Amino acid sequence: MAFGPHREGATMAVVARLRRAHLQAMVEHALREAPIECCGMLGKRDGVIAGVYPAKNAEASPFRFSIDAREQLRIEAEMEAAGHELAGFYHSHTGSEARPSPTDIRMMAPLFGPPYVHFVIGVADREQPEVRVFTIEGDRAVEHEYELLD
């Protein structure tokens, strides 16, 4: 599986630190759910992403995602029990670039702007998944880097 912390030549701020196993869990979730978009939540401890919490895409769509409110509450309770706090979210794009769409931005901006991070996993090329991380700032997605700790 090929993926890296950022695009070639990128010089952006690091907004997320995580272990390769957590990144791989997001990519595997995206590949498993394709052609439906996958989605999930990320927990952190001491500033490091420490938990990947897959969710069911309530939209069951290849073009949109949402997490049911009851499932979100269940995941938040699971995070709390693990000593994690909400770091952000992840979802996949199965046929387009790994960046938030205008619909994604509209959905996330009102409640989940900074400090929350948003990983987007592009799996149009299943052999070379693309993973990028963003913050949603107003009506735009700002790309950042992530750091792999191992």
Q: What is the DSSP letter of 95?
A: S
Residue 87 lies in a domain: yes
Residue 5 lies in a domain: no
CATH number for the domain spanning 126: value is: 3.40.140.10
Residue 8 lies in a domain: no
Q: What is the DSSP letter of 38?
A: P
pLDDT digits (tens, 9 = 90+) for 106-148: 988 888 878 899 999 999 999 999 999 999 999 999 999 999 9
DSSP E strand boundaries for the chain: 14-18, 39-45, 48-55, 85-93, 117-122, 130-137, 140-148
pLDDT digits (tens, 9 = 90+) for 75-99: 999 999 999 999 999 999 999 999 9
Q: What residue numbers bound the domain in which 82 lies?
A: 18-148
Higher pLDDT, 99 or 4: 99
Domain count, the chain: 1
Cα separation of 121 and 96, whole Å? 10
Please give the model's pTM, rounded to 2 decimal places: 0.91
Residue 117 lies in a domain: yes
Average pLDDT, the chain: 91
